[in-house]
Amino acid sequence: MTKENILNAQFVKEMVATTSNLYRLGWDERNGGNISYLLLEEEISHYLDVNTVLRQIPMIFDASELVGKIFIVTGSGKYFKNVADDPEANLGIVRVGSDGKTLELLWGLLNDANPTSELPSHFMSHIARLSIDPENRVIMHNHASHLLAMTFTHELDERLFTRTLWQMCTECLVVFPEGVSIIPWMVPGTTEIGEATAAKMKETRLVMWPQHGVYGAGNTMDEVFGLIETAEKAAQIYTYVQAQGGIRQTITDQNLRDLACGFGVKPRTEYLD
């Protein structure tokens, strides 16, 4: 049976559009940033023979909890600006092998390219989020500029950081009522940063990496992009407000409670006075 052109697959189009937007916004300079997207076998069977493994890629992380699961991921050292022109060279579809420590390449990552070096962190976060929400499919990391800047000037206290974002844009409490998590600065690509991020992912869908960037999680590409986009807009407004002389009036805690009631969300209660 003839397979359809995989470049027409919705999940490839989403990866192309999202990486292009992230580069356009300046959040993924050079080869900064990475995305992993959990696929369903029925989604890809129209385009690939899932029994054909192009090559095997060893991992430093034991992803036994994800055995058999298939992901489309960005490549290591790949520039987001190039994804649209050559998806097959810059993206890859991989399946976690039966030993949990091997990736089976099903498509892409041409010329012996590897998946993002942050894949262990992504997999740890997928495991954490799936334990909370079995519909979770997307993990996204980027260097959203104003959020990144805030980690240099704002207290790195999760409650205070969250409250500042909630008070900058009315939409924020509705979009991320659980708040924002923050881990200490750590070397990227390590088991330690992956474990710390995954632990926070059980509490929130946004995790700040101070002086580095942000991790976001969700059920769809649009949801995760919009989640980070909303927090980034709030951080941008915070930057403007600080430049204009600081806060004189803001959204009150009672306003936030009324907002939560109006939109049927449950904000993290200990974050409200």
- Does residue 147 form part of some domain? yes
pLDDT above 90 (res 168): yes
Q: In terms of domains, do 109 and 189 share one?
A: no
Q: In terms of domains, do 130 and 110 share one?
A: no
Which pLDDT score, from 0 to 100, does residue 176 have?
98
Average pLDDT for residues 143-155, to the nearest whole number? Answer: 98
- Does residue 45 form part of some domain? yes
Which pLDDT score, from 0 to 100, does residue 189 have?
87
CA distance 13 to 135: 20
| Paired residues of 73 in beta bridges | 36, 92
Average pLDDT for residues 123-146, to the nearest whole number? Answer: 97
* 126 assigned to a ligand binding site: no
Single pTM value for the model: 0.95
Tell me if 141 sits within 8 A of 55, measured CB to CB: no
Nearest C-alpha neighbor of 191 from the set 123, 121, 127, 129: 121
Res. 50 pLDDT band, cuts 50 70 90: very high
Q: In terms of domains, do 96 and 159 share one?
A: no
Q: In terms of domains, do 259 and 131 share one?
A: yes
**Mean pLDDT across the chain:** 96
Q: Which residues are catalytic?
A: 118
% of the chain residues with pLDDT over 70: 100
Provide the Cα torsion 179, 185, 189, 194; round to 10°: -40
- Does residue 271 form part of some domain? no
- Does residue 197 form part of some domain? yes
Catalogue the long-range contacts made by 77-84 (C-beta closer than 8 Å, 24 or more residues apart): 77/31, 77/113, 78/31, 78/113, 79/23, 79/30, 79/31, 80/19, 80/20, 80/22, 80/23, 80/28, 80/31, 80/33, 81/20, 81/23, 83/15, 83/16, 83/19, 83/20, 84/16, 84/19, 84/20
- Does residue 257 form part of some domain? yes
Range of the domain at 217: 118-264
Q: In terms of domains, do 254 and 141 share one?
A: yes
Per DSSP, 57 falls in state E
Average pLDDT for residues 89-109, to the nearest whole number? Answer: 97
pLDDT above 70 (res 1): no
Last residue of a domain, one of 116, 150, 169: 116
Which pLDDT score, from 0 to 100, does residue 3 have?
86
Q: In terms of domains, do 7 and 108 share one?
A: yes
- Does residue 160 form part of some domain? yes
Amino acid present at 16? V
Q: In terms of domains, do 130 and 254 share one?
A: yes
Q: In terms of domains, do 39 and 144 share one?
A: no
Q: In terms of domains, do 106 and 52 share one?
A: yes
Q: Which residues contact 225 (CB under 8 A, 6 or more apart)?
A: 18, 21, 140, 216
* 141 assigned to a ligand binding site: yes
CATH code where residue 158 lies? 3.40.225.10
Which pLDDT score, from 0 to 100, does residue 256 have?
97
- Does residue 272 form part of some domain? no
Catalogue the long-range contacts made by 194-199 (C-beta closer than 8 Å, 24 or more residues apart): 194/61, 194/118, 194/120, 194/121, 194/123, 194/124, 194/125, 195/124, 197/121, 197/124, 197/125, 198/121, 198/124, 198/125, 198/127, 198/128, 199/128
Name the least confident of 12-16, 22-26, 187-191.
187-191
pLDDT above 80 (res 11): yes
Per DSSP, 75 falls in state B
- Does residue 67 form part of some domain? yes
pLDDT above 70 (res 105): yes
Q: In terms of domains, do 128 and 202 share one?
A: yes
Last residue of a domain, one of 116, 134, 161: 116
Q: In terms of domains, do 259 and 158 share one?
A: yes
